[in-house]
Amino acid sequence: MGVVLVDAGGTNIGSVRYALQRLGVDAALTSDAETIRSADKVILPGVGAAGPGMARLRELGLEALMRSLTQPVLGVCLGMQLLCERSEEGDVACLGLIPATVRRFEEQPGLRVPHMGWNQLQRRREHRLLEGLVDGDWAYFVHSYAVPLGDHALATTDFGGEFASVIARDNFHGMQFHPERSAKVGARLLKNFLEL
């Protein structure tokens, strides 16, 4: 029932919850497998590193459950990265739902990592998640690792080269930026997810 936020220890979970409240949705914060399984929509937020993030899902006994979900799932920031096959961050296996390996931004002159601040989204594929999004819309990013381009990329962003900033495969979706901190653009994309 309803929308649930998977409590895997990310510090931004409160902010995501408030963003949903601003859209009129009261999401339950849970790490209970049955509550997650029976939810209409599942959001996996996350701030931190891939290794501890996966370890936490495993400790909570949620790893297999996350893979088996059939309702719309949204990973935010680290949550999106955990949907992928692997992450270079600590070289850990992730959930394997999106065929991609999360890579660290390569050092380049003038490229300051972490990628922190407002950057633009470019649409790559038509998808209901992107409804109302215009090329060049701004979103707020904070991350050092990114998902490369591929069939999963719904939208891309340029930071010393393009990376996938919105992804989807089957019922699994991800946003690398923080929709809860991306003003109207973020609110619209969260609303789109709630309406999938």
Partner 1 sequence: MLSRRLVPCLDVRDGKVVKGVRFRDHVVMGEIVDLALRYRDEGADELVFYDITASPEGRSVDRGWVERVAREIDIPFCVAGGIRSVEDARAVLHAGADKISVNSPALERPSLIDELAAAFGVQCVVVGVDSLRDADGEWRVRQYTGDPTRTQALARRTLDWIVEAQQRGAGEIVLNCMGSDGVRQGYDLEQLAVVRALCNVPLIASGGAGAPEHFCDAFLEADVDGALAASVFHSGAIAIPALKQSLAGWGVEVRT
89 a catalytic residue = no
Catalytic residue, candidates 34, 63, 77, 195: 77
Task: Give the interface with partner 1 as residue ranges (CB under 8 A).
Answer: 11-12, 14-15, 18-19, 21-22, 47-49, 110, 112-120, 138, 140, 142-144, 158-159, 178, 180-184, 186-187
- Determine the 3-state secondary structure of 175 from DSSP: strand
178 a catalytic residue = yes
Residue with smaller CB distance to partner 1, 99 or 117: 117
63 membership: H or E segment, kind and range: helix 63-68
Provide the minimum distance between the beta carbon of 34 and partner 1 in the complex, in angstroms, as a whole number.
Answer: 26
Residue with smaller CB distance to partner 1, 4 or 16: 16
Residue with smaller CB distance to partner 1, 15 or 71: 15
Catalytic residue, candidates 143, 152, 173, 178: 178
Q: How far is CA 80 from the centre of its chain?
A: 3
Report the 3 state secondary structure along 69-126: CCCCEEEECHHHHHCEEEECCCCEECCCCEEEEEEECCCCCCCCCCEEEEEEEEECCC
Provide the minimum distance between the beta carbon of 114 and partner 1 in the complex, in angstroms, as a whole number.
Answer: 5
Query: Distance between CA atoms of 77 and 111, rounded to whole angstroms?
Result: 20
Residue with smaller CB distance to partner 1, 149 or 187: 187
Catalytic residue, candidates 84, 143, 173, 180: 180
By 3-state DSSP, what share of the chain in percent is helix, strand and coil, each rounded to 5? 30, 35, 40
Tell me the catalytic residues.
77, 178, 180
